[in-house]
Structure 1
Amino acid sequence: MPNDELMPIGAFAQRSRLTSSALRFYADSGLLPPAEVDPVSGYRYYSTDQVARASTLRQLRELAMPLVAVEAVLGSGADEASRLLDEHVAKVVGDVAAVQQKAAVIKSVLGTAPGLPVAAVKGPVLADAVEQVLTAAAHEPGMPTVGGLRIEVGHEAVTLTATDRYRLATRTLVPAEPPSHTWAGTVDGDELRSAVAASRRSPLVRLEAVSNGIWFRVAGREDRHCRLLPGEYPDYRLMLASLGEVSTRATVSKDLLLRALEGHPGERTGLHVADDGVSVVSAVDGHPDIPLPATVAGQALQIWFDLTTLYPAVSTAIGPDVLLDLRGHDQPVTIRSADRGDLTTLAMPVKPDHCA
């Protein structure tokens, strides 16, 4: 290879953003041997063709990928490399979760105050409720609490609530035993999903509050800890209390409504509610409306939603039919099961002129 196409190790280090010592290590390990080595001086030279491989190697090592896995990725095609990356990320995420749980156990042993038993609930009921309600949570910079789930334990019920400010979901659970204390806290949503997944096959889960979180204790299984999120939770009770009077009520098949939403194009969808039923209206010109049989009482109206708000609000409803309580084209809509009212969702509409 002509010398003018080669770079000394220092220049190649700048191009690849790897240190000279790292390049020597990767050369000795066989991952990135130099293009040429001067037999007299021992100087190492690299070609411009090696920059891409060096950059990829650096990025893989930044992911804490071991050398054996890095070698496998660099030697694989795109599909296999993608699979190996996914496998590595899954392992890292699992390791992080395990470390968090071990840290929580250590904290409990280091002299923290004993936990406060607050409630006992049925495992599968809790797991289902968390999955349903957490669909309304979201990760937003500067607002960590909207990425969590609000747990409130009263004397007669356990209430789970999540909101991303465009949608709010709340479900009330009947405890398996009368709560011994009242308690409220906002729990990390990702940790909560992992914690309750293990409780799905457990008849009873006991909730025990500590200063920095809450324990989910299950007989015969490993206890799981979830952190509390800092900051005040949005005052959703004030929003619920300030809702206007219902002007229109419609009961419609959940499956038919979901199918209609899935089949309509565009990011926004309208609902036209009248005496003859509910129609799913498209924001795309020329696309036909989809009429749905429904039981309707009250005033006729048309209201628009972002599909990402309306669809999950309907899909998480319990039972074959959903009940829509409407208050006008610019007011939140309450969506709940026609035969079970313990899961309630509020969906915020968008302005009609946004749908042109």
Structure 2
Amino acid sequence: MPNSELMPIGVFARRSGLTPSALRFYADSGLLPPAEVDPTSGYRYYSADQVVRATVLRRLREIAMPLAGVEAVLGSGTDEAFRLLDEHVSKVAEDAAAARRKAAVVKSALGNVPSLPITALKGPVLADAVEQVLTATAREPGLPVLAGLRVEADHEAVTLTATDRYRLSTRTLVPAEPPARTWAGTVDGDEMRAAAAEIRRSPLVRLEAVPHGLRLRTAGREDRYCRSLTEEFPGHRLMLASLGEVTTRVTASKEPLLRALEEHPGERVELHVTARGVDVVSVDGEHPGIPLPATATGRDLRIRFELTTLYPAVSTAIGPDVLLDLRGDDQPVTIRSADRGDLTTLAMPTRPGHLA
């Protein structure tokens, strides 16, 4: 291959995202040998068709895959490479979870700082509530609080809240024992979700405030610790208090509504609410609407949603029937069980005429 078709190591480094020193290391290890080495100067040259392999190698190292694993992935077919990647990611996640648990033990031991009892809840009830409410979280760079769970305890109840700014889900729980004190904080949603699998099998879970987090104590099981998030949680109390008057109310069976949303072909859906019921229609008007039996009171209304906003809000509702409180085509919609109000979700519609 003539030199004009080869890249010196500096150029190849810029193309692949690897440093020259890393390229030398991977060449010496046999993972990425240069296409040609000048016998006189020792300069290394790489071909254009090596960029893909170098890029994959870099990305594998970015997810902390050891050299042996990188070599195995690069030398495998697609199916085997997928399997190796899945195994590696699972191990990384398990190691991270184990590290968090051990760190929690260390934190609890440092300085022998006492915890402050807050309240006690039934384990299965708390686990269900955590999983339901956390469907309204999101992972956005620079906004870790949107992946968090807000926990608020007063002298009567414990309230769990999560929001991704397009949905807000909140559930109120009755404590198994009178709360010892008021407490409010935002904890890591992933850690709370992981704890839910454990506390589900515990009849009673005691919530205790500790420095920088919340401890979940269960009899006969290892304590779980969820770290606090320091960012300010969105002002959900103010939003809930400022909701406008309900102008249209719909009661519909949950499963038919979910099926209609599943069958809907587009990314956005429009609900036509009349005294006859609800039609789930396509925003572009190219697909026939799906009529749903429902009881509607108030004024007729057309309201649009992103499917990714409306579907999870409906799917997490408790019970066979859902109640939709509508306030207009540009106001938050309250979605809850028709016969149980302890889980409530707010879903933001898209702006009228907004298709982007």
TM above 0.5: yes
Conservation of the 8 A alpha-carbon contact between 1:306 and 1:349: yes
Conservation of the 8 A alpha-carbon contact between 2:9 and 2:46: no
Conservation of the 8 A alpha-carbon contact between 1:8 and 1:43: no
Conservation of the 8 A alpha-carbon contact between 1:6 and 1:45: no
1:1-356 pair list within 5 angstroms: 22=22, 25-27=25-27, 29-33=29-33, 43=42, 48=47, 50=50, 52-111=52-111, 113-355=113-355
**Distance of aligned partners of 1:196 and 1:75 in 2 relative to their CA distance in 1, 3 Å threshold:** same
Quick check: 201-210 or 252-261, which moved more?
Answer: 201-210
Conservation of the 8 A alpha-carbon contact between 1:247 and 1:326: yes
**Distance of aligned partners of 1:115 and 1:51 in 2 relative to their CA distance in 1, 3 Å threshold:** same
Distance 1:119 1:15 in 2: 57
Distance 2:289 2:303 in 1: 14
**Distance of aligned partners of 1:111 and 1:314 in 2 relative to their CA distance in 1, 3 Å threshold:** same
Q: Give 1:60 deviation, angstroms.
A: 2.3
Aligned Cα root-mean-square deviation (Å): 2.7
Q: Give 1:221 deviation, angstroms.
A: 1.9
Q: Which runs of 5+ in 2 are unaligned?
A: none
Q: Give 1:127 deviation, angstroms.
A: 1.2
Q: Write out per-residue CA displacement over residues 300-321 of structure 1, whole angstroms, 9 at most, x where no aligned residue.
A: 2222212111111111001110
User: Any idea what SS the aligned residue of 1:56 has?
Assistant: helix
Q: Give 1:43 deviation, angstroms.
A: 4.9
Quick check: 135-144 or 246-255, which moved more?
Answer: 135-144
Q: Give 1:145 deviation, angstroms.
A: 2.2
Distance 1:296 1:6 in 2: 71
**Distance of aligned partners of 1:281 and 1:38 in 2 relative to their CA distance in 1, 3 Å threshold:** closer
Q: Write out per-residue CA displacement over residues 222-279 of structure 1, whole angstroms, 9 at most, x where no aligned residue.
A: 2111111113222222222222222222110000111111112222211112211111
The residue identity in structure 2 corresponding to 1:60 is: L
Quick check: 22-31 or 269-278, which moved more?
Answer: 22-31
Q: Write out per-residue CA displacement over residues 134-192 of structure 1, whole angstroms, 9 at most, x where no aligned residue.
A: 11122234433222111011112111011122211110111121111111101111111
Distance 1:140 1:19 in 2: 29
Conservation of the 8 A alpha-carbon contact between 1:34 and 1:44: no
The residue identity in structure 2 corresponding to 1:279 is: D
Conservation of the 8 A alpha-carbon contact between 2:131 and 2:196: no
Distance 1:29 1:23 in 2: 10
The residue identity in structure 2 corresponding to 1:275 is: A
Q: Give 1:88 deviation, angstroms.
A: 1.2
Q: Give 1:23 deviation, angstroms.
A: 5.3
Quick check: 49-58 or 292-301, which moved more?
Answer: 49-58
The residue identity in structure 2 corresponding to 1:295 is: T
The residue identity in structure 2 corresponding to 1:87 is: E
**Distance of aligned partners of 1:5 and 1:231 in 2 relative to their CA distance in 1, 3 Å threshold:** closer
**Distance of aligned partners of 1:179 and 1:34 in 2 relative to their CA distance in 1, 3 Å threshold:** same
User: Any idea what SS the aligned residue of 2:325 has?
Assistant: strand
Q: Given the two structures, how large is their TM-score scaled by the length of structure 1? A: 0.89
Conservation of the 8 A alpha-carbon contact between 1:144 and 1:230: no
Q: Give 1:131 deviation, angstroms.
A: 1.0
Conservation of the 8 A alpha-carbon contact between 1:265 and 1:284: no
Q: Give 1:14 deviation, angstroms.
A: 7.1
Distance 2:56 2:100 in 1: 30
